[in-house]
Amino acid sequence: MKILVVGGKRSVGIIQHVAENTKLTADLEYLYTDTYEEIVEELESRQTSFDGILFTGATPFEYVSGRVQPLIPWEALPQTPQAFLAALLKAGYKNQWNLQKVSVDTYPSELIHNVYDEIGFSSEELDLYIAKFQPNEKTYIEDLIEFHTDNYRSRRVSFCITGNIAVANALAKNHIPYVKIDPPTDIIIQQINALRLKHQLKLAEYNLVATIMIDIEIYADQLYKISELERFHSANKAKEAIYVFALNNRAAVFEKSDGHFVLFTTLHQLEQYSDYFKIFPLFQNIRRNENIKNISIGIGLGTDSYSAKLNAENSLLLAHRQEKDCLYLTYEDGNIAGPLTYETAIQESDTVSTANKRLLEISLRSQVGMNTLKKLVAVIHEYAIEVTTPQQMAELMNMSSRNMNRLLSKLEECGYVKIAGKEARVSSGRPSRLIRFYF
């Protein structure tokens, strides 16, 4: 397994040291950078050259996630109480700094206060200044540097704690005392193992059998004054396009009857061919023939050829009902995505088509039905939702909390939903998660 580790030089160096001194069954490549845009450029050009991406922290992960679609498993080193506690110990025991007067970035307020509670400090005893800037802001690094510098030079704090190497370097240059939070060894190993597990699950998904059923209807010769010879040539051209498609996707082809084909391949091959179902060039290749009336395609996924065939038959039935060129896909668990039409597959410049392709991509990757996604997007636009809670979304979507959490879980696994924080609560009780959609 090949993993790309991305982040600041110090944190990436720590991971490299752990990898070199630990028996890890993974091949790690390293990108040392303090510029998040460099990570964006790297993943846009070479993401699929790797089996997984490991970010050295939540900040670069959040920044890049808003700009690049994950096509392989991504993981970030989490913000852990033990890492923050280690920073406090270094500051208090080694440097003899005042632990009660600190400015902190990167880490959430709740985690910071919990750690202080564990070591016996109440909130009343503390002068804590916690940065609230968002990683997606253009001046994020500059704002953090100014935040810490102002707090220290105004004598509000005795030192600073940062999780960002660029901020740490700036503080060092300005002779401001600081502690850089470093990832613990066990967390590094845990996240690499999590990537390995996701990769193994992805391989199992790639090996799903994909059955493709294609029905091609040619205009009737008597109604449209097409000669029998023209119909013969049209049928042969369509057949040729299908066999080229099969060759490119390592698919076995069976011609059931004139204009009816069944192909067997894998999900992985189809994803590569269609750019994760953003396009489906087979439509265009067949449609070049002006005598074609309709192209109906049904794709079924399954753990074996029999279940994949049943799902393909279901997809083809749905495609026939559209009475136009279109494709449906039925997953191994019965969930359905589609339709992908000829128009949405080739009209790159059309705004509606682009939106449809985006939703189809989300549907295919997350296994959430298109109708549910369309309703979700409509609610988000209608109420101008930027950040919300699962309960609020459940009410707006007229869904149970349980079903909404299942829906959000599927979207979160694919990077379309991210946790933005926790809702402030006046009353007692567990605070609800705040979520943000990335559609």
DSSP element (H, E) containing 419? strand 417-422
Grouping H, G, I as helix, E, B as strand and the rest as coil, residue 221 is helix
**pLDDT at position 236, please?**
83
User: Per-residue pLDDT for the chain (439 aa), expressed as one digit of tens each?
Assistant: 889 999 888 889 899 888 888 877 778 999 988 778 889 998 988 888 898 999 988 888 888 888 888 888 898 888 889 899 999 999 998 889 999 999 999 898 999 999 999 889 988 899 999 998 888 778 889 999 999 999 999 999 999 999 988 899 999 999 999 999 988 888 888 888 888 877 766 666 567 888 999 998 887 755 545 677 777 777 888 888 888 888 877 788 888 777 789 998 888 788 777 777 667 778 878 877 767 888 899 999 888 888 889 999 999 999 988 878 888 989 887 888 878 775 555 443 343 345 566 777 787 677 777 778 888 988 888 888 888 999 889 989 888 888 898 889 889 888 889 988 776 554 455 667 889 998 7
Q: Rounded to whole angstroms, how far apart are CA atoms 334 and 292? A: 31
Chain CA centroid to CA 197, Å: 16
Q: Which of 156, 160, 155, 154 has the alpha carbon at shortest distance from 95?
A: 160
Q: Supply the pTM of this predicted model.
A: 0.49
Strand 27-32, strand 52-55: pairing:
unpaired
Q: Which of 164, 166, 179, 15 has the alpha carbon at shortest distance from 97?
A: 179
Q: Rounded to whole angstroms, how far apart are CA atoms 79 and 87? A: 12
Q: Please report, as a single letter, which amino acid is at residue 34.
A: D
Residue-wise burial string across 255-272, b where 16 or more C-beta atoms lie within 10 A, e elsewhere? eeeebebbbbbbbbebbe
The answer to whether the CB of 320 falls within 8 A of the CB of 296 is yes
Beta strands in 144-266 (DSSP E): 159-162, 178-180, 209-218, 252-257, 260-266
Reading across the β-sheet that carries 433-437, which strands appear in turn? 387-388, 433-437, 417-422
Q: Rounded to whole angstroms, how far apart are CA atoms 413 and 398? A: 23
Q: Rounded to whole angstroms, how far apart are CA atoms 119 and 48? A: 45
Placement of tokens 């994803």 in the chain: 271
Q: Which of 74, 164, 151, 111 has the alpha carbon at shortest distance from 438?
A: 74
Q: Which of 159, 151, 131 has the alpha carbon at shortest distance from 59?
A: 131
Q: Please report, as a single letter, which amino acid is at residue 43.
A: L
DSSP state, residue 35 = -
Q: Which of 340, 403, 352 has the alpha carbon at shortest distance from 376?
A: 403
**pLDDT at position 335, please?**
82
Chain CA centroid to CA 208, Å: 20
**For the chain, how far is it from start to end, CA to CA, in angstroms?**
29
**pLDDT at position 225, please?**
57
Grouping H, G, I as helix, E, B as strand and the rest as coil, residue 73 is coil
DSSP state, residue 227 = -
Placement of tokens 């990757």 in the chain: 365
Domains of the chain: 2-77+187-203 (3.40.50.2300), 81-180 (3.40.50), 207-367 (3.30.70.270), 372-437 (1.10.10.10)
